[in-house]
Amino acid sequence: MKKKIKVFAPASVTNVSCGFDVMGFAIDWPGDEIVLKIKDKPGISISKITGDNGKLPLDPVKNTAGASLIALAKHLGLKNGIEMEIHKKMALGSGLGSSAASAVASVFALNELLGKPLSRKELIPFALEGEKLTCGGTPHADNISACLMGGFVIVRSMNPIDVVNIKTPDKLYCTIVHPKLEINTADTRKILRKQILLADAVKQWGNVAGLIAGLTTGNYGLIGRSLQDVIVEPIRSILIPGFNKIKNTALEAGALGCSISGSGPSIFALSKSETIAKKAGDAMMEALNSIEVDGDLYISKINKQGPKVIS
């Protein structure tokens, strides 16, 4: 058995406009890195966290990566101890699955060290133990599943957990603008409506079905028509400065559609080529800068690999 491993787990875009809590996909960058070391002395410890500005706890019970690791180690009956380093390469509260990336990296790393006793899909419940710390005790599997399995995923059910990968066009690109603001996921869930009109639900179901059909058949027109959220986006977009302006500039630049990534503030757009994705990114950043807000720009294909071993 190897004694040390370093892994990378990618960021993820979830909800994907119309698919609240049930859709997501992984991107190439940003992401988190974790180093695990097997120790003779029992117990799990976090020796170092970088890139978090001192905001994350070193206590593994209170840390998303730590809680996930504890759950998996207990399930596997691990007698050795584990020392973990967490290197945050993405902003907290970005809407890009920061907590999920850390949780996924920890369980993926341990599973690799132990010779892959579990499949990636079987690791989902353990990674979800970390997500419970960030969402008020009721985890959702969209970020975790997209990050862990790679590609585009549909969370068909949480009980039992049933996650399905679907194919996407090879030329589909994602543009992400991350305004340098932090939005708390738990807070953004509290402002959502508890009841919705049946007419809105029917529109949303149609868009979900249309998006899946468009992705699996490579029908870009259908993808674009389906990237509409009539339930969540109108409420959460209020918290993101300049959202409508940024979205409109992306569409004018040729993007298929544009919406909020996760709970925000990151905004994503899908395009049918890298050229259009870059053009949309430039326009979105210009719109963001025009309201005097700094941000980061990422352009990526759909990351079909998910987490990977670095060394």
- Give the residue numbers marked as catalytic: 131, 185
CA dihedral for 50, 51, 53, 56, sign (positive or negative): negative
CA distance 149 to 122: 10
Record the tokens describing residue 241, joined without a space: 């400065």
Quick check: 51 and 31 in contact, CB under 8 A? no
DSSP for 170-234, written as a single string = TT-EEEEEEES----HHHHHHTS-S---HHHHHHHHHHHHHHHHHHHHT-HHHHHHH---SSSHH
CA distance 107 to 260: 28
Neighbours of 69 (CB within 10 A): 30
CA distance 300 to 142: 19
**Residue corresponding to tokens 């969540």:** 232
